[in-house]
Amino acid sequence: MSEPRPVSRGLTAIDGAISLIAILLVVQMWLLTATLEAFLAGHYEVAGPGALISAVLFAASFALYRFIEAVDRAGVDRPKT
Amino acid sequence: MKLWRDEFSIEAAHERYVARRQFGKFLVLTSFGMFVGNFWILARSYFRRDEVFSRSLIARASDIPKGGVKLFAYPGPQDPCILFHTHSDRYVAYSQKCTHLSCAVIPAADGQRIECPCHHGFFSIEDGRVLQGPPPRPLPRIVLDQRGDELWAVGVDLGSGAEPPAETKA
């Protein structure tokens, strides 16, 4: 049984990372709408935790993007066969 | 270096990487936009918490018959509100913007409810809570202060329970 090609493995890793970013983004969208709804209803106390969690989600998305870049760079730098 | 190399700098084998990287960049930028939105709400909450409302004379009680209404603007000239003299002989006032999509609310035909004619949302005339339809929140209540025959608006209660409900008997 042959090993998967490096390019294919890299693409799988990137696809996985992008899927995770997409999931985090959906959570962030929900968080923004829920926080806005609470703000308009006069519940100002939820704005702080909402912003904090949104910052954590953005940091996680950014870290995953850096991972994509690293995998991408490794794929591009690989010597041609 | 050949000209075509500059124009087509990405090799076919790496094209998939680039497409995914650009899509990932788009997602992360969108994520940053969501964070900015949440931060904007935080900033607005911080400044709104200390909001002070002015006193404003909105009507004379004797001018509004039982079941009657009067339109006014509070706290600013761009904030339409509606004052009711209910059948239970109370004066209550609410923002006239529906909490669904900001259509102007009006008294319902039965005189017991407030209606948003755009999407048939109904609110209680007694406390502004949602009775029916798509509005997600109660109508913001204008806090009234009656001095003799004069009705003064003194604040806005968004329905968070921050201020106790005030009753203004006729």
pLDDT attached to residue B16: 67
CB-CB under 8 Å, B38 with A72: no
**Are B87 and B125 within one domain?**
yes
Residue B110 has pLDDT above 60, yes or no: yes
Q: Which residue of A has its CA nearest to B18?
A: A72
pLDDT band for A79, please (50, 70, 90 cuts).
Answer: low
A66: closest CA among A30, A29, A13?
Answer: A13
Q: Which residues contact B169 (CB under 8 A, 6 or more apart)?
A: B89, B90, B91, B146
Backbone φ and ψ for B86, nearest 5 degrees, come out as -75, 165
**Are B7 and B36 within one domain?**
yes
**Are B62 and B130 within one domain?**
yes
**Are B144 and B117 within one domain?**
yes
**Are B81 and B147 within one domain?**
yes
CB-CB under 8 Å, B37 with A14: no
**Are B61 and B17 within one domain?**
no
**Are B25 and B109 within one domain?**
no
Domain count, chain A: 1
Question: Where in A5-74 does DSSP place strands (E)?
Answer: none
pLDDT attached to residue B150: 92
pLDDT attached to residue A3: 57
Residue with the bigger pLDDT between A42 and A32: it is: A32
| Distance (Å) from the alpha carbon of A1 to chain B's nearest alpha carbon | 24
Quote the CA–CA distance of B9 and B6 in Å, as a whole number.
5
Q: What is the pLDDT of residues A48-68, one digit of tens each?
A: 999 999 999 999 999 999 998
Dig out the tokens for B79 from the structure: 């904030």
**Are B37 and B61 within one domain?**
no
Quote the CA–CA distance of A63 and A17 in Å, as a whole number.
10
Residue A45 has pLDDT above 80, yes or no: yes
Average pLDDT of every residue of chain B: 85
Domain count, chain B: 2
Residue A42 has pLDDT above 50, yes or no: yes
**Are B32 and B113 within one domain?**
no
pLDDT attached to residue B98: 94
Q: Which of A77-81, B74-78, B92-96 has the lowest mean pLDDT?
A: A77-81
CB-CB under 8 Å, B21 with A28: no
Instruction: Using a pLDDT cut of 90, give the percent of chain A over it.
Output: 53
**Are B42 and B88 within one domain?**
no
Quote the CA–CA distance of B15 and A78 in Å, as a whole number.
14
Quote the CA–CA distance of B41 and B129 in Å, as a whole number.
24
Domain that holds residue A49: 21-76
pLDDT band for A43, please (50, 70, 90 cuts).
Answer: confident
**Straight-line distance from the first to the last Cα atom of chain B, in angstroms, rounded to the nearest whole number:** 89
pLDDT attached to residue A21: 96
**Are B10 and B87 within one domain?**
no
Domain that holds residue B152: 56-169
**Are B43 and B60 within one domain?**
no
Q: Which residue of B has its CA nearest to A49?
A: B42
Quote the CA–CA distance of B131 and B39 in Å, as a whole number.
33
Question: For the domain that residue B145 is a member of, what is the CATH number?
Answer: 2.102.10.10
